[in-house]
Amino acid sequence: GAGVSQTPSNKVTEKGKYVELRCDPISGHTALYWYRQSLGQGPEFLIYFQGTGAADDSGLPNDRFFAVRPEGSVSTLKIQRTERGDSAVYLCASSRGPGGNEQFFGPGTRLTVL
């Protein structure tokens, strides 16, 4: 069956530009997570959706970062006024439900801000 997919796989942008990263979760998975992984580090939690609502957005670093999941399936992570420090791999994961259910990760989007 289809796993979690993320597009684009690579994104190169210039400082100050706006970017959108897309996540297609496994069909039927109600929980969706975004993480950011810097080189040599473990994934860092950004935001968790249960259905359409952001149940926990405490990991978003500042107000330049925003994520939506309008129909409870596909999610988009939006970054405004990108900075060089935003360069990282952005990972998306989905699970059948919250807490304790196995998370299935996508391959990530590698974002490079020049």
Partner 1 sequence: TQLLEQSPQFLSIQEGENLTVYCNSSSVFSSLQWYRQEPGEGPVLLVTVVTGGEVKKLKRLTFQFGDARKDSSLHITAAQPGDTGLYLCAVTRSGTYKYIFGTGTRLKVLA
| Binding residues vs partner 1 (CB under 8 A) | 4, 31, 33, 35, 40-45, 48, 50, 55-56, 58-59, 91, 93, 98-100, 102-103, 105-108
Which stretch of DSSP H or E encloses residue 91?
Answer: strand 88-95
Min. distance of Cβ 14 from partner 1 in angstroms? 24
**Please, which residue, 87 or 103, has the CB nearer to partner 1?**
103
> How far apart are the C-alpha atoms of 111 and 72, rounded to whole Å?
25
Token pair belonging to 86: 């935003």
DSSP state of 87: -
Min. distance of Cβ 15 from partner 1 in angstroms? 25
